[in-house]
Structure 1
Amino acid sequence: MKKTFVYVAFSVALLAAACGGNNQSASKDNAGSSTAASDEKKPSENPSYDPKRGEGKFTHVDVAATLDPKMADAGEKVYQLKCSSCHKTTDEKLVGPGWKGVTSRHTAEWIMNFVTNTDEMLNKDAAAQAQLEICLVRMPNQNLSDDDARHIYEFMRKNDGVK
């Protein structure tokens, strides 16, 4: 029994370490940057909750009809570093849900608010709570920059077949 407890505790600590992390080398590239509520309000003053955009500072994200390959490549690097241990690019669940089709189910604002404001989204958003009930594991805060979030979204679009 004691060995099982130690094994479980070690596994949980290992998973938290693998999924967590501080992004010290956040990209300062403003290409394709999004318009956040910080343009109109202080960052601590988020607009009222909207289920289509979720809870967070992203109120409008400019998304081109075609893929930005540079952003998608940057997003793939972030995915490999911070996301791939829990998410597959298929519809298969790993620890968290698979990413296939996610850009058709959620808006850019919702996805970017979720990856940058995970705890608040899990506390307030019905769609995020439904995923939590399926996966049974809260996504840890990955400390993603706004640019990282935008790049990941573009990688998700590439994964969903946007050309």
Structure 2
Amino acid sequence: MKKICTICLLALFIIACGGNSNDNPATNTSDPAATSEGDKKTSDYDPNRGEGKFSDVKLDEKLDAAMAARGEKIADLKCTSCHKLTDEKLVGPGWSGVTGRHKAEWIMNFMTNTDAMIDKDPKVQAMLEICMVRMPNQSLSDGDARDILEFLRKNDGVK
């Protein structure tokens, strides 16, 4: 159980530490001339959505308190051994502000498709260099990931 918590926290840490990839020209793969054979695995990658099945996550303006409560329980079990709710790094990055730095689709895809995101996402790879620990796959269901997302929104001040 402790391994699962550690893994989830690492994933969220990587999510929280990500920056805005649009500001970094080194991560821009839109120039076909700049894409080498080794970069083919990321050339069709959408850094705003991530890698996974979530392409359009609908969020209400108002927080769903029941989902956030379920998400908090799941996060306590699987995530908070590595992630703090503040911006302070533990094993992984702190979660404060993560929903402002990343789109809901990216967060959901990262939580449910961790390994592919680590392999393809430039922001995640940059955080891996800082944190030096690969977030383990927590095997979250889609519903669990959505509940955690709602908890992250609550942590970021959505009412």
1 or 2, which has the higher helix percentage?
Answer: 2
SS at match of 1:79: helix
CA distance in 2, matches of 1:19, 1:141: 10
Q: Please state how far the C-alpha of 1:15 moved relative to its aligned partner.
A: 6.6
CA–CA separation in structure 2 for the residues paired with 1:91 and 1:63? 23
* Alignment check: 8 A CA contact 2:7 2:135 kept: no
Superimposed CA distance per residue, residues 23-43 of structure 1 (whole angstroms, 9 cap, x where no aligned partner): xxxxxxxxxxxxxxxxxxxxx
C-alpha spacing 1:18/1:110, structure 2 compared with 1 (3 Å): closer
Looking at structure 2, the residues matched to 124 and 134 of structure 1 have their Cα atoms a distance apart, in angstroms, of 17
In structure 2, the residue matched to 1:19 is: 6
Task: Give the alignment's TM-score, normalised by structure 1.
Answer: 0.72
Structure 1 segment 8-157 matched on structure 2, within 5 A: 16=3, 18-20=5-7, 49-157=45-153
User: Residue deviations 1:83-119, cap 9 Å, x none?
Assistant: 0100000000000000000000000000010011111
Task: Please list every run of 5 or more consecutive structure 2 residues that lacks an aligned counterpart in the other structure.
Answer: 9-43
Q: Which stretches in structure 1 are left out of the alignment for 5+ residues?
A: 1-13, 22-47
Greater relative contact order (Cα < 8 A, sep 6+): 2
The runs of 4+ residues in structure 1 deviating greater than 4 Å are: none
Residue identity matched to 1:106: H
Q: In the aligned structure 2, how far is the partner of 1:15 from the partner of 1:124?
A: 27
Pairwise CA RMSD of aligned residues? 1.7
Q: Percent of aligned pairs with the same residue?
A: 65
Give TM-score, length-normalised by structure 2.
0.74
